[in-house]
């Protein structure tokens, strides 16, 4: 296959998957936007984590809440747990890589906060551990996963929200995760300020 055809195929597959999942995913995305809005308007905050591309997604989302998305509004409380290299290296060095997010959740998380846990496989051990820590702190978990939801799907509790992109390609799952995160930013702004 030529390079041009490969690129065309990526566009085609990405667009088709997005369209095929739009109805299935709109309900959990709406529920997650409402849960995040409730958290933020009750002086709560959102802690976000993930590995690799999902770490970038966690940071992308936190930046859009702290700064802005598409309209002017007050700063909203969100922290990516992927950015402080001293915290991350000390936990990984002294304990284990599987603890890098859960220790931060135990330190920063409060009752009523939301953990945004992102993994395309649903099987990243450090994200699963962060979910356990969030439950200990009586936080709500919004899980963005892929495939069959993996281990993350199995440890979620009633009241948590699961946005699972039922596809097998990591890249395609990531593309829909980013779309879901932008829907969440837009949904939070809409619930806060209405149609601007
Ligand atoms: O961005 C990509 C692949 O597109 C990679 O960096 C990918 O995020 C990493 O391999 C992650 O470690 C995968 O973890 P996960 O999504 O299964 O939790
Ligand atoms: Zn990637």
Which pLDDT value is given to residue 195? 87
Q: For residue 100, what is the domain's CATH number?
A: 3.40.50.10490
Average pLDDT for residues 156-182, to the nearest whole number? 98
State the Cα–Cα distance between residues 73 and 166, nearest whole angstrom. 34
Range of the domain at 53: 3-193
Q: 82: how many CB neighbours lie within 10 A of its CB?
A: 24
Name the residue at shortest CA distance from atom 6 of ligand 1.
52
Which pLDDT value is given to residue 180? 98
Name the residue at shortest CA distance from atom 1 of ligand 1.
53
Q: 19: how many CB neighbours lie within 10 A of its CB?
A: 9
Number of structural domains (the chain) is 1
Q: Give 177 Cα–ligand 2 centroid separation in angstroms.
A: 11
**Binding site members for substrate:** 51-53, 64, 93-94, 119-121, 124, 174
Residues with CB under 6 A from ligand 1: 51-54, 119-121, 123-124, 170-171, 174
Q: Give 43 Cα–ligand 1 centroid separation in angstroms.
A: 32
Q: Is 34 exposed, middle or buried (0-12, 13-18, 19+ CB in 10 A)?
A: middle
Question: pLDDT tens digits for 46-92?
Answer: 999 999 999 999 999 999 999 999 999 999 999 999 999 999 999 99
Asked whether this complex has an ipTM greater than 0.95, the answer is: yes
Q: What is the DSSP string of 85-125?
A: HHHHHHHHHHT-GGGTTHHHHHHH--TT-EEEEE-SSS--H
Which pLDDT value is given to residue 116? 99
State the Cα–Cα distance between residues 39 and 174, nearest whole angstrom. 25
Which pLDDT value is given to residue 39? 98
User: Is residue 196 predicted with pLDDT exceeding 80?
Assistant: no
Integer distance in angstroms from the first to the last C-alpha of the chain?
Answer: 46
Q: Band of the pLDDT at 2, cuts 50, 70, 90?
A: very high
Question: pLDDT tens digits for 15-53?
Answer: 999 999 999 999 999 999 999 999 999 999 999 999 999
Question: pLDDT tens digits for 93-139?
Answer: 999 999 999 999 999 999 999 999 999 999 999 999 999 999 999 99
């Amino acid at each position: 296959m030529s390079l041009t055809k490969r690129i065309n195929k990526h566009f085609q597959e990405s667009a088709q998957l997005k369209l095929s999942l739009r109805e299935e995913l709109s309900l959990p995305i709406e529920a997650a936007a409402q849960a995040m809005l409730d958290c933020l308007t009750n002086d709560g905050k959102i802690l976000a984590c993930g590995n690799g591309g999902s770490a970038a997604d966690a940071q992308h989302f936190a930046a859009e809440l702290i700064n802005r998305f598409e309209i002017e509004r007050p700063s909203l409380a969100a922290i990516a747990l992927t950015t402080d290299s001293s915290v991350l290296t000390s936990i990984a060095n002294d304990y284990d890589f599987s603890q890098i997010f859960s220790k931060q959740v135990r330190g920063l998380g409060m009752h009523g906060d939301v953990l945004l846990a992102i993994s395309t496989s649903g099987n990243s051990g450090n994200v699963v551990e962060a979910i356990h820590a969030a439950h200990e702190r009586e936080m709500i978990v919004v899980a963005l996963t892929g495939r069959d939801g993996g281990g993350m799907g199995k440890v979620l509790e009633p009241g948590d929200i699961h946005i699972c992109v039922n596809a097998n390609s990591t890249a395609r799952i990531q593309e829909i995760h980013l779309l879901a995160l932008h829907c969440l930013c837009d949904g939070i702004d809409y619930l806060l300020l209405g149609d601007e």
